Amino acid sequence: MTADDLVLTPRGVRFMGRHVPATHGRGGIAADKREGDGATPVGSHQIVMMLYRPDRIARPAPWARPIGPRDVWCDVDGHPDYNHLVRGPVEGTDERLRRGDPLYDIILATDWNWPEAVPGGGAAIFLHQWRRPGYPTAGCIAFRRDHLRWIAERVRPGTRVVVPG
Model confidence, pTM: 0.96
73 pLDDT more than 90: yes
Q: Quote the CA–CA distance of 48 and 156 in Å, as a whole number.
A: 8
Task: Give the pLDDT mean for 21-46.
Answer: 97
Pick from 62, 42, 25, 61: which is nearest to 150 by CA?
Answer: 61
29 pLDDT more than 90: yes
Task: Give the pLDDT mean for 92-103.
Answer: 92
1 pLDDT more than 90: no
92 pLDDT more than 90: no
Residue 64, pLDDT score = 98
Q: How confident is the model at residue 94 (pLDDT cuts 50, 70, 90)?
A: confident
Task: Give the pLDDT mean for 18-38.
Answer: 97
Residue 33, pLDDT score = 97
116 pLDDT more than 90: yes
145 pLDDT more than 80: yes
Residue 114, pLDDT score = 96
Domain 6-163's class? mainly beta
Nearby residues of 66 by Cβ (< 8 Å), 6 or more positions away: 51, 52, 53, 54, 59
**If you average pLDDT over every residue of the chain, what do you get?**
96
Q: Quote the CA–CA distance of 96 and 163 in Å, as a whole number.
A: 26
Q: How confident is the model at residue 93 (pLDDT cuts 50, 70, 90)?
A: confident
